[in-house]
Amino acid sequence: MNIAIVGGGWAGFAAAVTARQNGHSVTVFEASETLGGRARAIQSSLPDGTPVTLDNGQHILIGAYRDSLRLMRTVGVDPQQTLLDLPMRLTFPDGRGIRFPNWPTPLDALGGMLGARGWSLADKVSLLRAAWRWRWQGFACDATHSVADLCQAVTPRIRAELIEPLCVSALNTPADQASATVFLRVLRDALFGTAGGSHLLLPTTDLGALFPDAAANWVRQHGGRVICKARVDHLAPATPHSDRPGHTPWRLAGPSLGDLAGAPFDAVIWATSASHAAQAVMHVAQAAPDRLANDLRRWAHTAQALRFEAITTVYAWSASARLALPMLALRNSAEHPAQFVFDRAALGGPAGLLAFVVSASTGDRATLQAQVLAQAQAQLGLTLQPVQTVVEKRATFACTPALERPAQHIAPGLLACGDYVAGPYPATLEGAVLSGIDAARRL
């Protein structure tokens, strides 16, 4: 089949590589110059004028991201060379917190809980009881429960120093609003699943080089096409093939598509943001027969109903700035909003460059930047100069209880992929990759 993939992010290239492996002809359309979507490289400079490559947001992978790691290897990226592999840890600047030993799963989780610094015996017992109960119940719960509901029996310190940081880093949604069902699935696969699943994998190269750039090269080398600065505004059904009854090809439209504008494709995988996908689907519905139009509008309304959370990454620098570890957890509050800080020098970047992450962020860029710089002084004793503050206003969907997410199938020959599409995981790189793989396999 001749397949069009609209969107050159992680989901789109997971679909492209999988479709090409399955023998399909592939053309990827990306509206911008830079590949990667919401996990891409950006160019900036330090206060002294030194050029530096940053990311539009600091990301963490984990060992449980099996399909992401597999596809990275497929396109020629060696995770051992591009990811710093660390046993799971949530350690604060004062040394308190949990750090897993490098033991087999799930003994590493047990060892981390028992050996956590700064936790009382009552704290540890409450967590062990909760973990045992979750495992006994098959990591399942009432779909309407929030993470806060799920964790009522653990102590306040466990909620503040483990549950909240894990929840906001994995689901980008505060615990009192986040889905307990999805949180338990993440815990099951990451902490109690495969060997090494809980390991933190911190990128030591920019996010573009980590997968999408290499995937684009792989697609081209295997006979596919990747076209940047090619925005697809909408699509429409084409005249059906006379030799393929019941099959509906599609045509794409956009001012920058050149000779591919109006060319028929046997199927389209739509791999853009939920809002852009909903707009395109509503446009198709305007001219579709009633029954199909109703299905299309229902899909678009489900996508439009999603609520989104922002993530802010504040890059800041001082020539003498160093962290005790490549990544530290921070105690966050309304005045000190960052939950994590990363030492980019330990991850292949320039000395003195730190990245502060504010998940589920609110407020304007200038205020957040000022608050984070004050937090760095208060909690790390560092006086930093701002480098760049990136606010991804629609970084992830709000992963709330009993959330209805759009289905993969939109219409015959038209599928969606992305971290927002119905699936077991929250808006993560692995969720996006799994969605892309599944879309390609459904062709």
* Residue boundaries of the structural domains of the chain: 2-36+211-306+401-441, 41-84+201-208+308-397, 88-198
Give CB contacts under 8 A, 24+ apart, made by 336-340.
Answer: 336/371, 336/372, 336/374, 336/375, 336/378, 336/379, 337/312, 337/361, 337/363, 337/368, 337/371, 337/372, 337/375, 338/314, 338/372, 338/375, 339/165, 339/168, 339/169, 340/58, 340/165, 340/169
CATH of segment(s) 41-84+201-208+308-397: 3.90.660.10
pTM given for the model: 0.94
Could you read off the pLDDT tens digit of each residue along the chain, which spans 443 residues? 999 999 999 999 999 999 999 999 999 999 999 999 988 999 999 999 999 999 999 999 999 999 999 999 999 999 999 999 999 999 999 999 999 998 988 889 999 999 999 999 999 999 999 999 999 999 999 999 999 999 999 999 999 999 999 999 999 999 999 999 999 999 998 888 778 889 999 999 999 999 999 999 999 999 999 999 999 988 988 875 545 555 679 999 988 898 888 899 999 999 999 999 999 999 999 988 888 899 999 999 999 999 999 999 999 999 999 999 999 999 999 999 999 999 999 999 999 999 999 999 999 999 999 999 999 999 999 999 999 999 999 999 999 999 999 999 999 999 999 999 999 999 999 999 999 999 999 99
Nearest to 11 by CA among 37, 32, 29: 37
H helix runs in 205-309, sequence order: 207-210, 212-221, 274-286, 290-304
| CATH class for the domain made up of 2-36+211-306+401-441 | alpha beta
